[in-house]
Structures are given as C-alpha cells and as structure tokens.
Homo-oligomer: A and B are copies of this chain.
Amino acid sequence: MPGNTIGKIFKLTTFGESHGKALGGIIDGCPSGIKIDYKKIEYELNRRRTGQSDIVTPRKELDKFEILSGIYNNITTGTPIGFVIYNKDTKSKDYSNIEHAYRPSHADYTYHKKYKNRDYRGGGRSSARETVCRVLAGSIAKQILKDIEIYAYVNSVGNIKLNKDYDNINKEDIETNIIRCPDINISNKMIHLIKKYQKKGDTLGGTIVCVIKNVPVGLGEPVFNKLHSELGKAMLSINAAKGFEYGSGFKGTTMLGSEHNDRFIENFKTKTNYSGGIQGGISNGMDIYLKIAFKPISTIKKEQYTVDKNNKKIKIKIKGRHDPCVLPRAIPIVESMAALVLLDYYLINKIYK
C-alpha cells in the first residue's frame, strides 16, 4: 500500500530520494482564493536546511523550490499544487564504501529485504531529506490556518532538560539560538554538549515540545481518527521519532483522577489543562501541547561493526557530512506536521457546520 500521502481533505503526496534528481509533491484539496507568501515558505525551508549553523551538517542543500501549478498570481486556484526541489549537492561517492553494508539502526536492511532493489546512496527514500516536502507543504498549511498559532522548541538534549512548562516560556526566545530552546542558559549547555559529542563523531537525541494555540472547539473525529491519534501518527512518521505524548502524557499516569480531571470554569475554559486541549479526541479550545521523543541519529562517524548483505561481519566507518543531533532542524518539521493535521481537521469540520 502506498504510504506517501498524508491527509484526507488537504492531502500531501510526496516523492524523491536523497540522492536522486529531485524531491517534490502534490497538495490536493487546497481551498482556492488563498494568498501564499513564498517568502514564508523560504523562511521555513531555511529553518530546516543543512549548513545553517555549526551544530548541523555542513552539507549544502539549496532547497530552492518551484511551484509548478495550483497557484496563479500568488493566489491558490483550488487545483492541485505541484512543487519540486531539485537536488544539487549530492556527493554519491561518499556512500560507495557502504554499498553492501547494512548500517546499524538504519533502514538499509529492511528496505533491501522489502524492495530487493535498494538505492544505497544516503538512505534514498528513508533519508530525512524527504522532510523538505513536509516543511514546504506545512508552510502553506500554516498560512491557511492563520488564526491558529503553532510553534515548537527543543525541550531536552540528552540529559539536559528545560525544566519549564510550555506556558512558562517566551516563544520569541526560541529562534534566538541555534538549538532552538527558549532559555539561554539551557540552550548554551545543549549546544556545548552537542559540540562535545560532535567532535567524538557521536550523536545525541532529545525531545521537542509543540504548542498549538487558538484551536476552535470541535476539531477531530471520534473513535479511530481522534485528533491526538492523527497528531501522534504524523509526529511518529518523522525520522528518528520514538515516542509521543500529549497533555499530561506519561507523567499523567501517576496522578489520581481527582487531581487529573480538568474542572470547567467560566466560558467553558478549564482550570487545569491536563487534557492537553483535547477531550474525547476533539479539541476543546484550550492549548494543545505535545512532546515528541527523538533518538540519537544512527549515522555516527565512529567505527562500527555490522554485517553486509551476505551476512558477513564487517567494520564500517561512515563518511559524509551528517547532523550530530536531529533536534534543531526537526523543529520546523514538527510544526509542519502539526499544521497539516490541524488544517485537515479544520477543513473536515466545515462539512458539519
């Protein structure tokens, strides 16, 4: 079953491999008459791009996008939006030494077994390069959802944690530093930690918090398509994601019902918000907040033992230019996935008004 589409009404389908000719996608179901600012798309792509700071891979992907259809004089026409991003800086030769190797914790082995015909250059379709299309579409989704505010930030890197709740940070502080953590002391520690392990050729994981504000009441569909189920699916589809929680999350499992229940007060607001803005799978108008766990990136520069496709033990050393920590570049991806899900439900909800 094809797995390259997300959304039911605002549908994004993507294509493209890290070392192929181009990546791109089609957005089908976009409403007509909406002004799209290409500068905003560029801004988001730049937040995701390589080479943006010295704690991300120095690879230079230009990420110059072309909109091929569906937008005329900067206004959406209601027809499908086709877009393409040609690959430029793809040094395929870097991968020649691992042509036959199954790199630990990569998708080499599973792709090879599933598809037989594997493109060994840089992960092909399993590479995070694929997420560039998510960010482009997410930026369009954000522009349509203009009243809904979506932002994400780095909450922890390894053992260094931001010990503040989402409603105790200033979102303006997020972009003040290269790790995208809204606390200058903590962010410095995070950057220091990353640089330390970067030198050793190792990698780090961490968590990202995403906040969604001003969501109208009523988004989400009961039973199998609850709003948080789709958000969870979308976030877990990002490379390196290992976990997802919303509202009180795993911590909420240690509370009593009488503590955890969000008492309604005036104007149908709730006094606490352990529910995380979603009740019975449907938004209740309070802030939605999510946390996503990212493992340390599998591409390390240290020498590793593994096997090749003939099951022979080998030692490999991955060359190429890679990220020491996925988190800063994952921020716009997380926001984009949130925007895609929210917009889809926003449009669905119009049916039943």
- Interface on A for B, CB 8 Å cutoff? 1-6, 8-9, 11, 13-17, 20-26, 28-29, 31-33, 66-70, 72, 75-82, 84, 102, 104-107, 109-111, 113-119, 124-126, 130, 156, 158-159, 197, 202-207, 217-218, 220-226, 228-230, 232-234, 236-237, 242-250, 252-268, 270, 274-276, 279-284, 293-300, 302, 304-307, 311, 313, 347-353
Contact = CB atoms under 8 A, between A and B. Distances in A.
B79 A258 contact: no
Given A207-B253, A257-B297, 12 more contacts: A2-B29, A4-B28, A9-B351, A14-B223, A17-B79, A31-B351, A32-B352, A156-B253, A158-B253, A203-B257, A223-B237, A229-B237
Contact of A253 (B104, B250, B293): B293
4 interchain residue pairs of minimum CB distance:
A107-B280, A3-B221, A243-B245, A3-B225
A35 B262 CA distance: 34
A11 B5 CA distance: 10
B225 A236 contact: no
B250 A282 contact: no
Contact of A78 (B115, B294, B348): B115
Contacts of A70: 15
Given A13-B80, A16-B68, A205-B260, A242 B237 contact: no
Contact of A1 (B4, B9, B75, B226): B9
B109 A268 contact: yes
A257 B348 contact: no
B117 A72 contact: yes
A115 B68 contact: no
Given A243-B250, A305-B263, A306-B264, A222 B79 contact: yes
Q: How many copies does the complex hold?
A: 4
A297 B261 CA distance: 9
B68 A222 contact: no
Contacts of A159: 254
24 contacts: A3-B223, A5-B224, A15-B28, A24-B82, A31-B352, A72-B117, A77-B115, A79-B125, A104-B262, A104-B264, A106-B279, A107-B222, A109-B264, A109-B268, A125-B223, A203-B257, A203-B258, A205-B255, A232-B236, A242-B247, A243-B246, A243-B252, A260-B298, A264-B307
A106 to B, nearest CB: 7
Contacts of A350: 350-351, 353
A69 B22 contact: yes
Contacts of A67: 21
A13 B1 contact: no
Contacts of A72: 20, 117, 119
A179 to B, nearest CB: 14
Contacts of A268: 102, 109, 307, 311
Contact of A32 (B5, B116, B307): B116
